[in-house]
Amino acid sequence: MATRSPGRNLAAAARLSEGLAYHAGMCPHASHSRPRPRLIRLAMSACLLLLAGALALGCRDREAANSGAKDSVARPDKAAARPEVKLLVPGAEPRRTLRYRLREGAEERLIMRMNLAIQTATNGVPVPEVETPAVSMDMQLRVAETSDDEQARYDFALSAIEVEETPGVLPEVAAAMRERFQNVAGLTGSARVDSRGFNWDARMNLPEQLAPEVRQLMLSAAQSMDQVSAPLPEEAVGEGARWSLTQTIEQNEVTLEQVTHFELIELDGDRGVLTTRISQRAGAQAMHIQDMPAGTAELLSLESNGSGRIYFDLGRLVPRSSLDMRSDYGLRVTPGDGEAVQHIDTHVDMRIELAAP
């Protein structure tokens, strides 16, 4: 399976994972041998947690505010949110400072695609692997304005979501997902970015008629637009340069520690290639699962690793990238009919491609 890196532009596709899992288990015709909807949502809550970290390479504190039909995710204080990038190896000469230079009015189109497989065991008894339909998102981005301080504001619009026919996935599962996502296309939003690729003030406009789980999913996608471009170090670098980013990620009331390593393996003018490695760890703690009472789910442990590549162009907002990530975590659930310890393995393959606007 191809592996391209966890560029922050994959974020909106990553947030789709929660919706994928929810609908994979909601089909009323599914056999009893398949995991129940609650188990699917449980697995995906943990999966969403690790993906949030993998894709939030510029993660920062955020606030959500609602105003009529508009839901916004914003954090106006940029300075307090920028994560520290630590340069480990400056690379070979010649070296230079890498900075994005965006042109006002520039338009880009990206297509994000995700595949997800979940393998679970409850109290030591394996459950058949669950595969969800492949989902792709077609998004348009436009640099609305630039400023003298090397900042820019860009607008984005979700023009289409496609739930693909996927071997091994029940047709009614795909149909249920399509029904849920039918009002999502056409959503719009905006965000700001600086010359080092750090984003903030992401907002998305959501209509009132969206289903609650889809609304939450798209709000998460708006948060994720905070991470659309690859982070760059302050110092001058050359081929072979390596830098790291250490973060504490919070998602679904769970905290995990993440370390991301970047290596600049190619640099030709304004274009380059980064390889990435991500590791995540989390200890025992309570977690929130959709549609389950507080205190009924506990994360026992989480360990995940991912790798890939980012193909960037300093004159463009969005790099071509992809992520291949595997995770292993344990959960304890007390749903009211007895305690269950669940072991979950997930494999996520996500990629983003650029297309003509």
Return the exposure string of 166-187: e unless at least 16 CB atoms fall within 10 Å of the residue's CB, then b: beebbeebbebbeebbeebeeb
DSSP annotation string for 42-55:
HHHHHHHHHHHHHH
118: tokens are 């979940």
The residues near 338 (Cβ < 8 Å, ≥ 6 apart) are none
Q: How many CB atoms lie within 10 A of CB 193?
A: 26
**Model confidence, pTM:** 0.75
User: End-to-end CA distance of the chain, in Å?
Assistant: 28
Question: Which pLDDT score is estimated for 84?
Answer: 77
The residues with which 111 forms a beta bridge, in sequence order, are 138, 353
Q: Is residue 289 part of a domain?
A: yes
Domain span at 276: 8-355
Question: Which pLDDT score is estimated for 10?
Answer: 32
Q: What is the torsion angle, in degrees rounded to the nearest 10, for the CA atoms of residue 188, residue 219, residue 351 and residue 142?
A: 20
Q: Is residue 3 part of a domain?
A: no
Residues above pLDDT 70, as percent of the chain: 67
Q: Is residue 308 part of a domain?
A: yes
Separation CA 290–CA 84 (nearest Å) = 33
Q: What is the pLDDT of residues 204-225, one digit of tens each?
A: 887 777 776 677 666 666 555 5
Q: What is the pLDDT of residues 118-139, one digit of tens each?
A: 777 777 787 777 677 888 889 8
pLDDT band at 335 (very low <50, low <70, confident <90, very high): low
Helices vs. strands in the chain: H and E counts, helices first: 5, 16
> Assign residue 124 a region: left if phi > 0, alpha if psi is -120 to 50, beta otherwise?
left
pLDDT at position 234 over 60:
yes
Between 272 and 245, whose confidence is greater? 272
**Within 195-337, where are the H helices?**
212-224
Q: Is residue 2 part of a domain?
A: no
pLDDT at position 61 over 60:
no
> Domain total for the chain?
1
Q: Is residue 274 part of a domain?
A: yes
pLDDT band at 173 (very low <50, low <70, confident <90, very high): confident
Q: Is residue 313 part of a domain?
A: yes
Q: Are the C-beta atoms of residues 46 and 302 closer than 8 Å to each other?
A: yes
- Mean pLDDT for the stretch of residues 233-257: 86
15: tokens are 């947030």
Q: What is the pLDDT of residues 13-31, one digit of tens each?
A: 333 333 334 333 333 333 3
pLDDT at position 150 over 70:
yes
pLDDT at position 45 over 60:
no
Between 91 and 278, whose confidence is greater? 91
Between 292 and 330, whose confidence is greater? 330
Separation CA 159–CA 167 (nearest Å) = 26
Question: Which pLDDT score is estimated for 7?
Answer: 33
53: tokens are 């970290």
Of 180, 157, 156, 202, the C-alpha closest to 56 is 202
Q: Is residue 229 part of a domain?
A: yes
Question: Which pLDDT score is estimated for 337?
Answer: 61
H or E element, residue 252:
none
- Mean pLDDT for the stretch of residues 273-297: 80
Between 297 and 162, whose confidence is greater? 162
Q: Is residue 219 part of a domain?
A: yes
